A and B are shown apart, each in its own frame.
Chain A
Amino acid sequence: MRRPQKSCPFCETRVRFIDYKDDRTLGRFLTDTGKILPSRLSGVCARHQRQLSTAIKRARYLALVPYIRGHQA
C-alpha cells in the first residue's frame, strides 16, 4: 500500500546544508530514546536524511545531542 506523501521539512524551508551545531533542529528528528527518526515517520527526503544522519552523529560526538536519552547509569 502506498503511504501518503509527506513533505520534507528541510525542503520546505529551502535548507541546503543541515548544520550539525543546531541541536534544537536535530533534536526534533530523534526518538524519545535518542535514535535517529526514520524518514518514513518524519517525511524527510533522501538527500536531507543522509545529511541529517551525518549531522546527528557529529552532534552526538560533540555532546550537543545525547547518544541515548533517559538512561540512568
Chain B
Amino acid sequence: MPRTYEVVYIFDAALEDAAITDTLTRVHTLLGTGDVAVEHWGKRQLAYPIGRRETGHYAIAHFEAEATTLPEYERALKLDEGVVRYLITLHEHEVGAPPMTEEEIAAGRGRASDDDDDED
C-alpha cells in the first residue's frame, strides 16, 4: 500500500542548483514513483551551525511511495555528501484536511476541563 510522505532536505549551501536537482532526481528514481513534487526554499540561515555550515539549501518533496522502497532511498541519502540533513515524515492526515469544526473544539475543551487540575 503506497503511503504519502513529506521529506525536508538540507543541502550544502556551497552546491550549485544544478547539482542539487541532479541529486534529487537521482534519489527520487529509487522510489519507483514518477510524480514527486519538489519545492525549493533556497538558501536559508541555520538556527545553529551544523559542522562549519551556517547556511543550508532547503528543499521539500512530497510523494507517494511503497514503504519497502524507503530503506534503499534513505541509504542513498546518507551516502550523499551534499545532503547535510533530511527528515522523512508521513504526510497523510494533513493532505486536504479541513479546519477544525466547532464541535471538535468543544469536545476537546470538555475533556480538558475534567483533568485540568495541575498546580501553577
Residue in A3, A5, A14, A40 whose beta carbon sits within 8 Å of that of B99 in the complex: A14
Q: Which of A1, A20, A63 lies in contact with B48, CB distance below 8 A?
A: A63
Q: Main SS of chain B's interface residues?
A: mixed
* A21 and B8 contact, CB distance less than 8 A: yes
Known: A62-B10, A64-B47. A15 touches B108 (CB 8 A): no
Closest to A12 in B: B105
Chain B 77-120, CB within 8 Å of chain A: the 1/0 string?
00000000101010001100111100001001101110000101
Say which residue of A11, A17, A21, A45 sits within 8 Å of B60 (CB atoms): A21
Size category of the binding interface on chain A: 20 to 34
A63 and B109 alpha carbons, distance in the complex (Å): 33
Interface size on B, residues (CB 8 A): 25
CB 8 Å contact bits of A6-41 with B (1 = contact, 0 = none): 000001001111011101000000000000000010
A38 CB, nearest partner CB in chain B, Å: 10
Complex-state Cα separation, A27 to B99, whole angstroms = 22
Chain B residue with the shortest CB-CB distance to A13 = B99
A17 engages B48 (CB within 8 Å) = no
Pairwise interchain contact B120-A63, C-beta atoms closer than 8 A = no
Q: Which residues of A contact B94 (CB under 8 A)?
A: 16-17, 19
* Contacting residue for B89 out of A5, A47, A58, CB 8 A: A58
